[in-house]
Structure 1
Amino acid sequence: MNFQTLQFEINDGIGTLWLNRPDAHNTVNRQMAKDLRAAGYQIARTHRLRALVLRGRGKVFSAGGDMRMFQENMESIETYMLDVIPDFHEFLMTLRSLAVPTVALLHGAAAGGGLSLALACDFVFAREDTKMAVAYRKLGVSADGGMTHLLTSLLGPRKAMDLMLRKDSFDAREALALGLITDVVSREEFEEQLSGKLADLASNAPAVVREVKALVYGAGHTSYGAQLQAETGSFSRCAATADFREGVSAFLDRRTPNFNSQ
């Protein structure tokens, strides 16, 4: 599955979607937005996918929006944005709704829309030298890519406002301390450590991943009682799967479970 600005590959159930505009720091232009939307549609229909990884070719993960394209389309910038942003947002919606773990692997830089893309994933692992920036305020524009929702839900409105209107950039350690990312990995051990982390995520029972994602992302919009009811239904559905039987047997046999059912 190849596109003009992306590459997709799958190995042992782990799919990797590469942002592939390295000479432009993997910035999002009209073509990448369209490619992301098309890729999301195909990935959502890829059978036997156990995890999806987002990465960037070249020196950085993604520097956000393509400034040169903005400048070239400045005379009709509102029309341009209304053409580009909906495709980008459609991919983000698909990414969030995937029934498998989604993982962003950051290196170099993740700014603006690139940071939004990363934060939309379930897990974010950053190389220790990664720099991050919300970036929008210095362009004189408000955020897109779900940034206001993501920062507010992860950090609360006070800290979200601080990052969007005052703090210009932060490193991987600061992001980890804030709770924006999952973990920081050393530059030297990045590939080796991530291989194990991804294999561990992909080993989860598919039904459990689906149910946990639905419960966690829905928890902020329901009452405690409603969440208890949702957990009851979720637990019961998982208990009816072959993977639950395998999990119980593995626990009693003191061995690692092998989850396979979809």
Structure 2
Amino acid sequence: MEAFETVQYQVDDQVATITLDRPQARNSLNQQLRLELRQAVEKASADDDVRAAVITGAGSGFCAGADLTERLPGAEENGFVTRILHEEYHPLILAIRNAPKPFISAINGAAAGVGASLAMACDLMLMAEDAFLYSAFGQISLIPDGGFHKMLLDQLGSKRAYEMIALSQKLDSNRCLELGLANRVVPAELLQEEARSIALSLCAAAPLTLQYSKQVLRDARTFDLESVMTLEAEIQNQMFRSQDFREGATAFFEKRKPVFEGC
């Protein structure tokens, strides 16, 4: 167990479980939590004994967004919010998106505000039946941040994304599943068990496939078809020469389960 104060961090069977641990504040992101959460994400990414990670929340909710009760030095200065977003929130979101390993968000209860961005930044999203995404910014005359516009646009298109933002909508778990935002919806009491099961399945998959397909899917959002095919061809050459490909091909012909090492 890592010595964080606002995050629980545990590794078991190559799965890192990262739990936001401010249940008394609905896991809202104060400065300590967002910095420790980034450290935990980076720790899982760099740990050779970790092949997949789960991010979830303690208590009855995933993350209520930014902690609006927190008062930091310089908060009254013009440009403060921009600086905090650039220095603390953006590196956290990008640490997940750019990680070489798959991250699963296991959403219990509300994922609101930038908490929804955190949930959507993960590669897979699993939701409890009573979970929901909530764009609450319009209620307090702000706009979504943490990449929310981009992630929602990519998935829903501009009209649905704008509707959710403009009307401060909540999308329940079944609607998220219908729209392709969530991979699975399960009973709340089975959420952590199912998230771990998916993570263990990822651990048994080929690490290089997980890493490089995550990269290609990320880049493909802004690349044209020809550029994506060029990137795939370059990476495929690397994969073809890897030890894991030799192991996978040998196991296929020997009709056994391959043992991948990530190299």
What TM-score comes out, normalization by structure 1 length?
Answer: 0.92
Q: Residue 76 of structure 1 aligns with which residue? A: 76
Residues 62 and 107 in structure 2, CA contact (< 8 A), matched pair in contact too: yes
**Deviation (angstroms), 1:77:** 7.1
Which whole-Å deviations, capped at 9, do the CAs of 1:193-229 have from their partners, x for residues lacking one?
Answer: 3332111111121211111011111112112112111
Q: Residue 181 of structure 2 aligns with which residue? A: 180
Q: Residue 195 of structure 1 aligns with which residue? A: 196
Which whole-Å deviations, capped at 9, do the CAs of 1:169-205 have from their partners, x for residues lacking one?
Answer: 1210001111111111122433333332111111121
Q: Residue 248 of structure 2 aligns with which residue? A: 247
Q: Is 1:257 aligned to 2:258, yes or no?
A: yes
Q: Residue 114 of structure 1 aligns with which residue? A: 115
Q: Letter of the aligned partner of 1:92 in structure 2?
A: I
Q: Residue 231 of structure 1 aligns with which residue? A: 232
| Between 110-119 and 61-70, the greater mean CA deviation after superposition | 61-70
Q: Residue 161 of structure 1 aligns with which residue? A: 162
Residues 30 and 84 in structure 1, CA contact (< 8 A), matched pair in contact too: no
Q: Residue 88 of structure 1 aligns with which residue? A: 89
**Deviation (angstroms), 1:81:** 2.7
CA distance in 2, matches of 1:157, 1:247: 42
Q: Letter of the aligned partner of 1:133 in structure 2?
A: Y
Q: Residue 126 of structure 1 aligns with which residue? A: 127
Q: Residue 7 of structure 2 aligns with which residue? A: 6
CA distance in 1, matches of 2:31, 2:77: 12
Aligned pairs for 1:30-69 within 5 A: 30-69=31-70
| Between 51-60 and 83-92, the greater mean CA deviation after superposition | 83-92
**Deviation (angstroms), 1:83:** 5.2
Tell me the secondary structure at the aligned position of residue 44 of structure 1: helix
| Between 151-160 and 96-105, the greater mean CA deviation after superposition | 151-160
Which whole-Å deviations, capped at 9, do the CAs of 1:63-119 have from their partners, x for residues lacking one?
Answer: 11113226x989727565345423121111111111011110011111111111010
**Deviation (angstroms), 1:257:** 2.0
CA distance in 2, matches of 1:20, 1:177: 30
Tell me the secondary structure at the aligned position of residue 8 of structure 1: strand
Q: Residue 98 of structure 1 aligns with which residue? A: 99
Q: Letter of the aligned partner of 1:43 in structure 2?
A: A
Q: Is 1:21 aligned to 2:22, yes or no?
A: yes
| Structure 1 residues 189 and 225: alpha-carbon distance in aligned structure 2, compared to 1, 3 A threshold | same
Residues 138 and 168 in structure 2, CA contact (< 8 A), matched pair in contact too: no
Residue ranges of structure 1 left out of the alignment (5+ in a row): none
Q: Is 1:145 aligned to 2:146, yes or no?
A: yes
| Structure 1 residues 157 and 73: alpha-carbon distance in aligned structure 2, compared to 1, 3 A threshold | farther
| Between 15-24 and 5-14, the greater mean CA deviation after superposition | 5-14
CA distance in 2, matches of 1:235, 1:147: 32
- Tell me the C-alpha RMSD between the 2 structures: 2.1
CA distance in 1, matches of 2:63, 2:74: 22
What TM-score comes out, normalization by structure 2 length?
Answer: 0.91
CA distance in 1, matches of 2:4, 2:148: 26
Identity %: 28
Residues 18 and 53 in structure 2, CA contact (< 8 A), matched pair in contact too: yes
| Between 95-104 and 27-36, the greater mean CA deviation after superposition | 27-36
Residues 128 and 185 in structure 2, CA contact (< 8 A), matched pair in contact too: yes
| Between 100-109 and 81-90, the greater mean CA deviation after superposition | 81-90
Which whole-Å deviations, capped at 9, do the CAs of 1:214-248 have from their partners, x for residues lacking one?
Answer: 11111121121121111111111111112112222
| Between 81-90 and 112-121, the greater mean CA deviation after superposition | 81-90
Tell me the secondary structure at the aligned position of residue 69 of structure 2: helix
For these two proteins, the number of residue pairs brought into alignment is 261
